[in-house]
């Protein structure tokens, strides 16, 4: 039982750490209604798109920043 629990958290912790570092999920002040759940789902979808984009070998944070600055790169991420 303990091995299964450790295995589960071994997978969950990197995901939550990445969401917190890149999207600052833990600092979010969205709590009303379904807002927090909706925002979390959008962050996970964005994280998946950023991870799939393979033309640049850089961090997820750098890809996100680049997509913010460059509309063509944003379109590339959205199309992958």
pLDDT of 62 reads 93
**Between these two residues, 51 and 25, which has the higher pLDDT value?**
51
Task: Please report the pLDDT score of residue 4 as a whole number.
Answer: 67
What are the tens digits of pLDDT across the range 7-48? 665 656 667 778 777 877 766 777 777 887 888 888 889 999
CB 61 within 8 A of CB 22: yes
Greater model confidence, 6 or 78? 78
| Whole-number Å distance between alpha carbons of 36 and 40 | 6
- Predicted confidence at residue 9, as pLDDT, reads 57
DSSP string of the chain? -HHHHHHHHHHHHHHHHHHHHHH-GGG----STTHHHHHHHHHHHHHHHHHH--SS-S-HHHHHHHHHH-HHHHHHHHH-
> Is this prediction's pTM over 0.85?
no
């Amino acid at each position: 039982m303990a091995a299964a629990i450790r295995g589960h958290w071994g997978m969950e912790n990197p995901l939550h750490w990445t969401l917190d570092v890149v999207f600052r999920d833990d600092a979010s002040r969205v709590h009303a209604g379904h807002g927090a759940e909706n925002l979390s789902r959008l962050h996970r979808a964005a994280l998946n798109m950023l991870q799939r984009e393979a033309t640049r070998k850089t961090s997820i944070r750098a890809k996100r920043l680049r997509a913010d600055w460059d509309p063509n790169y944003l379109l590339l991420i959205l199309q992958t």
